[in-house]
Amino acid sequence: MKNNQINQNYGKFILLVLGILLIAANLRFSITPVGPLITVIRHDFDLSSSTAGLLTTIPILAFSIFSIFAPKLAIRFKDENILMASLVILFTGILIRSLPNVFFLLVGTFVLGSAIAVGNVLLPSFIMNKLPNQAGIMTGLYTTFMNLFGAIASTLSFPVSQTMGFGWRNTLALPSILVLITILIWLPQLFNNTHLFKRNYKSRRKIGLWKSTTAWYVTLFMGVQSLVYFVMLSWLPEIYISKGMDPSKAGFMLGTMLLCSIPSNFIVPIIAHRMRNQRGIMTFVVFLTLIGIIGLLLESMVFAYVWAIFLGIGIGGCLSLSLMLITLRSPDAEHAAQLSGMAQSVGYLIAASGPVLFGYFFSVTNSWSVPLFILVILSILLFVIGVGAGKNVYVTSE
């Protein structure tokens, strides 16, 4: 009887971890294919660079708007149920985006962005509550899955769309298959009423963090690193194309960046979890990001892969560190949920300006030099913010 109970608990643990990782995979799988296909989409609809930037800005705006509401939903409903609802909405948004009309393209993008926002906010606190002793490794694993599937999608989207003849609409519909698989894997969590994992839904309370200096450091670190990430996600292929690179190879460069982010996605949270403060690891990943951006300012394409690799390791580390800081700066899961909502709502609002503004700067100057120089300044600012966010203190509720 005891062995059966152990086996049942182990099975539930494996199913929970698998479900978390699949949800994480869906957080980027439906948005990263857009970057390599922007040129094709622009040609089909005759869009300007700034208008095309909306395709990556709209999800970020949705992240910002719905990140505010996710912690409020978590007070009233089980996280498992909320995450399931977000998967269903994500599936719907992907299908709407694939309909043959610019209106549906934009609306579907907003719908899927709202669904992803919920997963972005709830996963850090969900992991802290369910698997507190594995917070470091689980944060590393879920950011790894998130960017691994993002890299796969961005690398294959152009070849699948153009070389294999799927077309960009059908290519952007393919992520719905992964969503369906995730829904099936997550379904048992809706009926799991055992006490295998920690949970006290009625303990959730409203926590005010808006006057906490540490909370603002974490929030601004999330915002600036997200801005850099989404600018690269949106425009890195275009930057390489402007230097004479073939569009298919330029999409592969984005995939290279995302693939190279995977090791730091996994390793950085584990290291950060074991450190007294996170300033050292923060300096390392921000420095690599800065070097990668400076490399893109050079006219020579000789080291194109090197800059993509540096950007991948640096940006990937900044992303996973920003998520890990939510856990490390929170004394409990309730604070983590509220801090996650604050950091991601304000942070993604900051990030949302990136793709459109940088597309506009390119349109005005007809060069990527000015936008990239601005990114250099922002990377230096990210380091300054990171010094505050890396301090070993909990957020307060003043």
CA distance 215 to 330: 9
Residue 206 is predicted with a pLDDT of 57
Determine the average pLDDT of the residues in 148-164: 86
Please state the rounded mean pLDDT for residues 265-276.
Answer: 89
Counting beta carbons within 10 angstroms of the beta carbon of residue 352, is it exposed (0 to 12), middle (13 to 18) or buried (19 or more)? buried
Give the whole-angstrom CA distance, residue 154 versus residue 361. 24
Residues in the chain: 398
pLDDT at 19 > cutoff 50? yes
Q: Is the CB of residue 55 less than 8 Å from the CB of residue 73?
A: no
Element containing residue 135 per DSSP (H, E): helix 135-158
Provide Rg for the chain, Cα atoms.
Answer: 20
Phi-psi region of 186 (alpha: psi -120 to 50; beta: other; left: phi over 0): alpha
- What CATH class has 2-389? mainly alpha
Read off the pTM.
Answer: 0.79
In this prediction, residues 229-249 reach a mean pLDDT of 87
> Could you tell me if 70 and 85 are in contact, meaning their C-beta atoms sit under 8 angstroms apart?
no
Tens digit of each residue's pLDDT (9 = 90 or more) over 381-392: 999 999 999 999
- Strand, coil or helix: what is 48? coil
What span, in angstroms and rounded, lies between the C-alpha atoms of 74 and 154? 32
Instruction: Give residue 175's pLDDT band: very low, low, confident or very high (50, 70, 90).
Output: very high
Lowest mean pLDDT among 143-147, 290-294, 305-309: 143-147
> What's the chain's average pLDDT?
87
Query: Would you say residue 47 has pLDDT above 80?
Result: no
Neighbouring C-alpha atoms within 13 Å toward the C-beta of 9: 10
Under 8 Å CB-to-CB from 192, ≥6 apart: which residues?
12, 80
DSSP line for 7-40:
HHHHHHHHHHHHHHHHHHHHHHHTTTTHHHHHHH
Whose structure tokens read 């300054």? 384
Helix boundaries (H) for 77-134? 79-97, 102-130
Using pLDDT thresholds of 50, 70 and 90, give the confidence band for residue 193.
low
Q: Where are the domains of the chain?
A: 2-389
Q: How far apart are CA 181 and CA 288, in angstroms?
A: 36
The region that residue 287 occupies, defined by phi over 0 for left and psi between -120 and 50 for alpha, beta otherwise, is alpha
Q: Are 113 and 90 in contact (CB under 8 A)?
A: no
Confidence band (pLDDT; 50, 70, 90) for 7?
A: low
Average pLDDT over residues 270-294: 94
| Amino acid (1-letter code) at residue 242 | S
Percent helix / strand / coil, the chain, rounded to 5: 80, 0, 20
Query: If DSSP codes are grouped into helix, strand and coil, which group holds residue 210?
Result: coil
How much is the average pLDDT of 14-31?
94
pLDDT at 218 > cutoff 50: yes
Is the pLDDT at 312 greater than 90, yes or no? yes
Dihedrals phi, psi of 327, to nearest 5 degrees: -70, -45
Residue 336 confidence class, pLDDT cut points 50, 70, 90: confident
Q: How far is CA 396 from the centre of its chain?
A: 26
Share of the chain above pLDDT 90, in %: 41
Per-residue model confidence (pLDDT) at position 41: 87
